């Protein structure tokens, strides 16, 4: 029987959606789905996982109140060595990427990260991943092994309805020593800025394509004419051209405006995750192969330094 382990992910009192996505996906990869929950006083999460799993292995220990890669790795490697699942799925989240490589080396099993799809070839999983910022896909083949470890991209496949009622098995914490190499201290919330872009009806969003911060005023002028707020990709925020509270994406904000006008943004999935719920998306990019066009309703393939000034003129005329 092929068993699939899924690591449940939770933070600050919430079970993260990726856990349910992976449990749903796991049903296609094996005939027994086991959720592994490392938590503390998280019975409610165990119950939710049981809805999507045939079994929940639940370690309830204060050691797991907050994520700590060293503690997680120590517990997971013990559980995996004992139970010997065929496949282990971990969300390719900031938590997951802190774990997958080191766990893979410790267990000495084939692994890869950021799978966007998994196909079974016989009893062996094969993985599809993206390369070059999503411009091409690659098919990844594992070396034959008793076990495989896969990091799966968040929101790659939707969570289903559940409908299972797996057994919840409480297991003793296999980690009996104190973890000293790394200690969790606290969470620090992102700073709140003066504009809340999650509430904006219209966003003009700026990417690295604008090249220099001296081009921001041109974008401000465009935003002004559209009654829009300015948002940005991470590249623009990293460069210090706009403040962090303007960042759209997985490590920024999730926005749902009526109009999202993406200018000089390539459309990396970390960005798209934050804006794909927008009602109307328009993209201006010089590269016809930019992934952003896959998420846009209207596209203009041209130099933004030609299109934006022309658009500003047109909008001024329209407004009279």
Partner 1 sequence: MNIVVCVKQVPDTSDPDTEVHIDSTGRGVDESKFSFVINDADNYAVEEAIRLKEKHGGEVTVVNIGPEGANQVIRMALAKGGNSAIRLFDEKFAFSDIVATARILHSAIKDLSYDIVMTGCMASDDGFAAVGVTLAQMLGIPHAAMVKHVEVIDEKKLKVGRELEGGLMEMLEIEIPCLLTIQTGINEPRYASFKGIREASKKEIKLMDLSAAGLGDDMVGEAGSVAVMKQYSVPEVGELAEMLEGDAGETSTKLAQILKEKGLV
Ligand X SMILES: Cc1cc2nc3c(=O)[nH]c(=O)nc-3n(C[C@H](O)[C@H](O)[C@H](O)COP(=O)(O)OP(=O)(O)OC[C@H]3O[C@@H](n4cnc5c(N)ncnc54)[C@H](O)[C@@H]3O)c2cc1C
Question: CB-hemisphere CA count at 13 Å for 242?
Answer: 30
Closest to 126 (Cα-Cα) out of 108, 145, 107: 145
Size of the chain in residues: 320
Instruction: Decide if residue 110 touches ligand X (CB under 6 A).
Output: no
Chain-centre distance for alpha carbon 130? 14
Residue 233 binding partner per list partner 1, ligand X, none, with a CB distance cut-off of 5 to 8 Å that depends on partner kind:
ligand X
For the bound state, the minimum distance from the C-beta of residue 84 to ligand X, rounded and expressed in Å, comes to 32
If you search the block for the tokens 């465009």, which residue do you land on?
222
Q: In sequence order, what are the beta bridge partners of 232?
A: 206, 247
Q: Which of the choices partner 1, ligand X, none does residue 170 contact, using the CB cut-off of 5 to 8 A by kind?
A: none
Hey, which residues between 217 and 236 contact ligand X (CB under 6 A)?
233-236
Nearest Cα to Cα of residue 67 among 185, 216, 218: 185
Residues 6 or more apart from 303 whose CB is under 8 A from it? 286
Among 128, 145, 251, 254, binds ligand X (CB under 6 A): 251
In whole angstroms, the minimum distance from the beta carbon of 168 to partner 1 comes to 27
CA distance 314 to 193: 31
Binding-site partner at residue 22 among ligand X, partner 1, none, CB < 5 to 8 Å by type: none
Q: How far is CA 42 from CA 169, 179, 291, in A?
A: 13, 21, 39
Binding site partner of 271, from partner 1, ligand X, none, Cβ cut-off 5-8 A by kind: ligand X
| Nearest distance in Å: CB 169, partner 1 | 28
Q: Are 146 and 80 in contact (CB under 8 A)?
A: no
Interface region with ligand X, contact rule CB under 6 A, candidates 21-29, 57-65, 110-118, 269-277:
269-277
Binding residue (CB under 6 A) for ligand X from 129, 247, 259, 278: 247
Q: Does 303 bind ligand X (CB under 6 A)?
A: yes
Q: State which of residues 19, 73, 112, 266 lies at the interface with ligand X (CB under 6 A).
A: 266
264 near ligand X, judged by CB under 6 A? yes
Q: Does residue 249 touch ligand X according to CB under 6 A?
A: yes
Three-state DSSP class for 74?
A: helix
Residues that bind ligand X (CB under 6 A): 133, 207-209, 233-236, 247-252, 264-266, 268, 270-271, 274, 285-287, 290, 303-305
């Amino acid at each position: 029987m092929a068993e699939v382990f899924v690591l449940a992910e939770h933070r600050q009192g919430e079970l993260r959606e990726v856990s349910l996505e992976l449990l749903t996906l796991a049903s296609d990869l094996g005939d027994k789905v086991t959720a592994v929950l490392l938590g503390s006083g998280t019975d409610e999460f165990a119950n939710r996982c049981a809805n999507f799993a045939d079994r929940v292995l639940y370690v309830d220990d204060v050691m797991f109140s907050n994520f700590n890669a060293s503690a997680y790795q120590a517990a997971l490697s013990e559980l995996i060595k004992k139970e010997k699942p065929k496949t282990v799925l971990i969300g390719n989240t900031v938590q997951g990427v802190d774990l997958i490589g080191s766990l893979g080396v410790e267990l000495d099993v084939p692994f890869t990260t950021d799978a966007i799809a998994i196909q079974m070839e016989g009893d062996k999983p094969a993985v599809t991943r993206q390369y070059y910022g999503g411009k091409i896909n690659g098919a990844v083949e594992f070396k034959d092994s008793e076990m495989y470890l896969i990091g799966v991209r968040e929101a790659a496949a939707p969570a289903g309805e559940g409908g299972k009622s797996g057994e919840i098995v409480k297991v003793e914490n296999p980690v009996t020593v104190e973890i000293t190499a790394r200690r969790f201290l606290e969470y620090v919330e992102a700073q709140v800025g003066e504009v809340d872009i999650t509430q904006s009806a219209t966003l003009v969003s700026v990417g690295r394509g604008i090249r220099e911060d001296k081009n921001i005023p041109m974008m401000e002028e465009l935003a002004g004419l559209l009654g829009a707020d300015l948002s940005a990709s991470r590249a623009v925020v990293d460069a210090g051209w706009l403040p962090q509270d303007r960042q759209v994406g997985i490590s920024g904000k999730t926005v749902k405006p009526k109009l999202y006008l993406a200018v000089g943004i390539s459309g990396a999935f970390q960005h798209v995750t934050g804006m794909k719920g927008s009602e109307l998306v328009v993209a201006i990019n010089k590269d016809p192969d930019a992934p952003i066009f896959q998420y846009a309703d209207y596209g203009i393939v041209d130099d933004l330094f030609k299109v934006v000034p022309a658009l500003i003129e047109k909008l001024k005329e329209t407004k009279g």
